[in-house]
């Protein structure tokens, strides 16, 4: 069974409930009244060297409970102090223990771009992300398929950068056809949740010059970071290793290669 499908179904229900409580027009008004220009997520990842996107997630389907009591502000400040160039905040509540409020808190605690990492399957979530202060959002080709291009365009209209996640050659082709400027290659198999860093090594050479390549999932050590950098990674998105570490800031510094 694809582990993504039940999560997407629950997110559709959550979006419908959120829309009933706060119509799209209200979100649009909130952006106009409260939000300035987003921080430049792409520029942060394109800086010289290997950029680290440090992630806040309290639990996950693959890792179980990671750090259930993690404080979003403290985590963000520690990551920034250790050299993270961007943050990723899981906002999905049931499987990852997140909330949109975590994103707002994290962004206020550190002066770097913040990615909303969630399962975006409705244009409402794009406006919702912008209203909450996100600088970028994750779009998963496995969830959006042929609609990926539509969502990339809508995100651009909302002034959000996009990390487009892929798992294989077909999804990478969809992402590039959609105009993705930042591609996240996920080393995790959605069916059995296994991790293979060879996925990034296989797909990275297919990413055109000018498109940033982000290695997602499975980076646990400095050796892994070096391996991904040599394979062509511009950035790493690291969550589980940091959340499990006794000293997340010290662990993050291992990946600065």
Distance of CA 187 to the CA centre of its chain: 14
| Burial class of residue 83 in the structure, from the number of CB atoms within 10 Å of its CB (0-12 exposed, 13-18 middle, 19+ buried) | middle
On whether the CB atoms of residues 203 and 166 are closer than 8 A, the answer is yes
Active-site annotation, residues: 55, 57, 117, 165, 186, 216-217
Length of the chain: 257
Please, what is the end-to-end C-alpha distance for the chain in angstroms? 37
CA dist., res. 129 & res. 178, Å (int): 20
Task: Convert 172-223 into a string of H (helix), E (strand) and C (coil).
Answer: HHHHHHCCCCEEEEECECCCCCCECCHHHHHHHHHCCCCCEEEEECCCCCHH
Task: Tokens for 175, please give them.
Answer: 């992402």
Q: Give SS3 for 200.
A: helix
Provide the sign of the torsion angle of the four alpha carbons 137, 138, 141, 142, taken in this order: negative
């Amino acid at each position: 069974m694809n582990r993504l499908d039940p999560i997407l179904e629950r997110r559709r229900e959550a979006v419908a409930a959120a829309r009933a409580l706060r119509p799209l027009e209200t979100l649009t008004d909130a952006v106009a009244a409260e939000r300035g220009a987003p921080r430049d997520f792409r520029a942060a990842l394109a800086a010289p060297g290997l950029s680290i996107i440090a992630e806040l997630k309290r639990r996950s389907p693959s890792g179980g409970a990671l750090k259930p009591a993690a404080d979003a502000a403290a985590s963000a400040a520690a990551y920034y102090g250790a050299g993270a160039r961007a943050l990723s905040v899981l906002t999905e509540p049931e499987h990852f223990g997140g909330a949109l409020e975590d994103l707002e808190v994290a962004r206020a605690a550190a002066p770097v771009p913040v990615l909303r990492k969630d399962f975006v399957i409705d244009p409402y979530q794009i406006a919702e992300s912008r209203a909450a202060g996100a600088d970028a959002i994750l779009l998963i080709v496995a969830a959006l398929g042929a609609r990926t291009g539509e969502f990339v365009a809508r995100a651009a209209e909302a002034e959000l950068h996009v990390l487009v996640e892929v798992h294989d050659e077909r999804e990478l082709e969809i992402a590039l056809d959609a105009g993705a400027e930042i591609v996240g290659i996920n080393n995790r198999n959605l069916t059995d949740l296994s991790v293979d860093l060879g996925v990034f090594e296989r797909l990275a050479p297919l990413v055109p010059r000018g498109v940033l390549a982000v290695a997602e999932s499975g980076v646990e050590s400095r050796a892994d970071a070096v391996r991904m950098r040599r394979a062509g990674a511009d950035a790493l998105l690291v969550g589980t290793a940091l959340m499990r570490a006794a000293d997340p800031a010290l662990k993050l510094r291992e990946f600065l290669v």
